[in-house]
Amino acid sequence: MVTQSATLKSKEEIIERMKKPEVITGSEMLLRSLVLEGVECVFGYPGGAVLYIYDAMHGFKDFHHVLTRHEQGAIHAADGYARASGKVGVCIATSGPGATNLVTGIATAYMDSVPLVVITGNVATSAIGTDAFQEADITGITMPITKHSYLVRRVEDLPRIIHEAFHIANTGRKGPVLIDIPKDVSAAKALFKPVTEVNIRGYNPTVAPHKPQIDKLLQAIAEAERPLILAGGGVIYSGGHEELYEFVTKTNIPVTTTLLGLGGFPSGHELWLGMPGMHGTYASNKAIQAADLLINIGARFDDRVTMKLSGFAPNAKIAHIDIDPAEIGKNVPTDIPIVGDIKTVLTIINREAKPAAKADAWRAQTQAWKKEVPLKYKDSDTELKPQWVIEMIHDTTGGDAIVTTDVGQHQMWAAQFYRFNKPRSWITSGGLGTMGFGFPSAIGAQMAHPDRLVVSINGDGGMQMCAQELAVCAINNIPVKVAIINNQVLGMVRQWQEIIYDNRYSHIDLAGSPDFVKLAEAYGVKGFRATNKEEARSAWEAALRHPGPAVVEFVVRKEENVYPMVTQGNTIDEMIMGDAE
């Protein structure tokens, strides 16, 4: 049996060995630098321009490399790893098509502020700009969707660049950083000296807030009669969930959490009102529109939250706490701007925070909205309803699983009907809305937490965009449990076409999709199918008992819609309630 102290000792020995100055290749520098940055898992796909790097990996056991079946699978897996662990996700791809296959994943991470270091190969420096075989200007292509990027021209610069890349990715407003390494640079040799310091001119994110702004917020809370907290993904990314809980406990202010903020505040708390926006709860949306003080903590006032901007929170003074000053006032005029790290800001606020003394009637009103108009749907004993499936998954996992989703109706049902009480247990593509994200991100989350249950909830459309990664689960025995909500249609597109486009259904039929049970079995993964409640319970429980990866296809009602729904051009309190009406 290997003890923890022995494991720590071996890690320390590895690090000391990696620090040793030595003349080595750029590829070896890269691997050593990754280990020194604490990297334990890398997702990638080799090709010509990164062959020296992969040659250096031969027999290399100081981090785990997962060979995916598509570069998009690699970067979504790295993204899921980062979101689940709080560490920087790392992926590697070759030049040209390998690099361009990463673009959607880079944009996904950029929109959701996920720290990634993306390593691409390039043609030799002498061939750059000649339209050489598999050449693409990946730094130019990705410039709008990376926090920073490097084209490495000298092998001596690699240790510094890699250290800077990890620092940039995981500080301030987090995001993806790209390192493009020409093939001759990866082959060249130089003296390797580890870099431990960072000095980047012009990059110095504000962490501590301006104290007078804190005082303004505390005064506004004391005067407010209808205060409300809007908590976003920044709470989770900063590790500030405990500080948020303390802030709510001290002030007794109701809370609504955005799609990416789910899990940042426990859903079982009586002051939690649900998720706001297009498919938000009645209580959350009504509260935003009636609030006289809206405290935005780590959210960016996304259009799916605000809907009609000119009618958003019309009665509220707006306070906005964010690490990125560019977000404050960008979409919604801000009265009390506070720039700083969420955890740090809340720690300072909590020293002086007091109950919102004038808000007793307001709390009663928000609780009444929550009680009078909860999320609901018409259940059926003859058809399998997707909302019921999500509730069943929640009940059987105790709400303790890490849940990833793809994008569409199933994503919104999961956000509504799975109750999250812990941060980093909800992984979904928010800003970009990337189909194909859900399943490979679950692989990354499982690699980050091998001892936790990871459930990937997908639609029948998005599942087919990265279904080839089933091979990765089978070969590596990664025990992700995949739930496919199969309504044989592009569900959210169908819903919009029904409600907004007068039932003109155009090119949404997915009835020709594969038999997902056979598809899973073809990859060596256990497959199940359910068409009613009894089958659903049995199949899901069998999947949970199975020690390896498993796929359960839930065949659900095609016509089911996500409610509440706010259509574009309307304010968030102008909700279509659907079955609740």
Query: Average pLDDT in the 359-388 region?
Result: 96
Task: Kindly write down the DSSP assignment for every residue of 196-241, as one continuous string.
Answer: -----TT-----SPPHHHHHHHHHHHHH-SSEEEEE-HHHHHTT-H
Checking if the pLDDT of 359 tops 60, the result is yes
Residue 432 phi, psi (nearest 5):
-90, -25
* Alpha carbons 85 and 448: distance in angstroms, whole number: 6
Of 29, 37, 43, 71, which is the active-site residue? 71
Of 133, 219, 378, 559, which is the active-site residue? 133
Pairing of strands 189-192, 22-25: antiparallel
Q: What is the pLDDT of residues 294-343, one digit of tens each?
A: 999 999 999 999 999 999 999 999 999 999 999 999 999 999 999 999 99
Name every residue whose Cβ is closer than 8 Å to that of residue 210 and which is 6 or more positions away in sequence: 338, 339, 340
- The verdict on whether 308 is a catalytic residue reads no
CA torsion sign for 196, 197, 201, 204 is positive
- Residue 293 burial (C-beta neighbours within 10 Å; 0-12, 13-18, 19+): buried
Q: Where is 106: in which H helix or E strand?
A: helix 103-111
Q: What is the pLDDT of residues 250-284, one digit of tens each?
A: 999 999 999 999 999 999 999 999 999 999 999 99
Please tell me the predicted confidence (pLDDT) of residue 12. 79
- The verdict on whether 492 is a catalytic residue reads yes
- The verdict on whether 243 is a catalytic residue reads no
CA 260 distance to own-chain centroid: 7
Of 412, 492, 565, 575, which is the active-site residue? 492
Please tell me the predicted confidence (pLDDT) of residue 333. 97
* Alpha carbons 517 and 527: distance in angstroms, whole number: 5
CB 265 within 8 A of CB 555: no
Distances (CA, A) of 115 to 83, 88, 94, 413: 8, 5, 20, 27
Of 183, 317, 343, 526, which is the active-site residue? 183
**Two structure tokens written together for 133:** 């075989």
Checking if the pLDDT of 465 tops 60, the result is yes
Token pair 């069943």 is at which residue?
A: 392
- Residue 503 burial (C-beta neighbours within 10 Å; 0-12, 13-18, 19+): exposed
- The verdict on whether 553 is a catalytic residue reads no
This prediction's pTM = 0.96
Q: What is the pLDDT of residues 331-357, one digit of tens each?
A: 999 999 999 999 999 999 999 999 999
Please tell me the predicted confidence (pLDDT) of residue 18. 78
User: Average pLDDT of the chain?
Assistant: 96
Please tell me the predicted confidence (pLDDT) of residue 415. 98
Pairing of strands 426-427, 481-486: unpaired
* Alpha carbons 137 and 180: distance in angstroms, whole number: 9
pLDDT grade, residue 443 (50/70/90)? Answer: very high
- Give the residue from 350, 533, 300, 492 showing the smallest Cα distance to 407: 492
Omega of the bond leading into 212 within 30 degrees of 0 (cis):
no
- Residue 331 burial (C-beta neighbours within 10 Å; 0-12, 13-18, 19+): middle
Which amino acid, one-letter code, is at 36?
A: L
Task: Kindly write down the DSSP assignment for every residue of 151-165, as one continuous string.
Answer: E---GGGHHHHHHHH
Name every residue whose Cβ is closer than 8 Å to that of residue 93 and which is 6 or more positions away in sequence: 44, 45, 47, 50, 71, 74, 75, 99, 101, 102, 118, 119, 120, 121
CB atoms within 10 A of CB 17: 12
Residue 208 phi, psi (nearest 5):
-85, 140
- Give the residue from 417, 319, 320, 411 showing the smallest Cα distance to 374: 417
- The verdict on whether 183 is a catalytic residue reads yes
SS (H, E, C) 17-46: HHHCCEEEEHHHHHHHHHHHCCCCEEEEEC
Please tell me the predicted confidence (pLDDT) of residue 7. 54
CA 48 distance to own-chain centroid: 31
CB 354 within 8 A of CB 215: no
Pairing of strands 293-297, 336-339: unpaired
Which amino acid, one-letter code, is at 428?
A: T
CB atoms within 10 A of CB 402: 27
Domains and CATH numbers, the chain: 4-192 (3.40.50.970), 211-372 (3.40.50.1220), 386-555 (3.40.50.970)
**Two structure tokens written together for 555:** 């065949």
Checking if the pLDDT of 579 tops 90, the result is no
CB atoms within 10 A of CB 577: 12
* Alpha carbons 573 and 560: distance in angstroms, whole number: 22
Token pair 């940042």 is at which residue?
A: 264
Residue 331 phi, psi (nearest 5):
-110, -40
Please tell me the predicted confidence (pLDDT) of residue 19. 80
**Two structure tokens written together for 201:** 């001119």
Query: Average pLDDT in the 525-529 region?
Result: 98
Residue 181 phi, psi (nearest 5):
-115, 110
Checking if the pLDDT of 554 tops 90, the result is yes
Q: What spatial distance separates the first Cα and last Cα of the chain, rounded to whole Å?
A: 60
* Alpha carbons 581 and 574: distance in angstroms, whole number: 13
Q: What is the pLDDT of residues 57-107, one digit of tens each?
A: 999 999 999 999 999 999 999 999 999 999 999 999 999 999 999 999 999
CB 217 within 8 A of CB 293: no
Q: What is the pLDDT of residues 104-128, one digit of tens each?
A: 999 999 999 999 999 999 999 999 9
Of 40, 134, 497, 535, which is the active-site residue? 134
